[in-house]
Amino acid sequence: MAKRARPVASEAEDAFVTLMRAADRVRTALAAVFEPHGITVQQYNVLRILRGAEPEGLPTLTIADRMIERAPGITRMIDRLEAKKLVARERRGGDRRCVHCRITKHGLALLARLDEPVDEGDRAAFAALNQRELAQLVALLEQVRKAHESA
């Protein structure tokens, strides 16, 4: 644990700081998996969401709702993925504002190449925990997330 200049004000503050530091370290480690492939963690998340929605694809706003991390610039992110030929967009129906996105064959191939390195990264990120501890961590984090979704 890092030395603190002053003691934490509360257990909640300590939990927040520890969670944010751990998330940063895990995100940084996984970013190293994606970087050689020219995508970010958030772009990977979009591709993963779209792979799960095949073959229909999803509207842009639905993708934004399903993101692990909120992404205010979802349109720009889709623009970048489309420029890399990983995602295709089309307008469907009478509502010109609704843009539907689908993962391309190139996007699916990239995800297939990343599946094993991502699995290895996930396992490495939590290697310090046994199965029981990992299940407990997931349950506790779900409690925190759900409390904030209902607020």
pLDDT, one tens digit per residue, over 77-126 is 999 999 999 999 988 776 666 788 999 999 999 999 999 999 999 999 99
Q: Is the pLDDT of residue 151 over 60?
A: no
**Per-residue confidence (pLDDT) for residue 91, from 0 to 100:** 80
**Per-residue confidence (pLDDT) for residue 90, from 0 to 100:** 87
Residue type, 41: V
Q: What is the DSSP string of 3-41?
A: --SS--S-HHHHHHHHHHHHHHHHHHHHHHHHGGGT--H
Beta bridge mates, 87: 103
**Per-residue confidence (pLDDT) for residue 4, from 0 to 100:** 58
Span 15-30, mean pLDDT? 92
**Per-residue confidence (pLDDT) for residue 69, from 0 to 100:** 83
Domains of the chain: residue spans and CATH? 11-149 (1.10.10.10)
Q: Is the pLDDT of residue 14 over 60?
A: yes
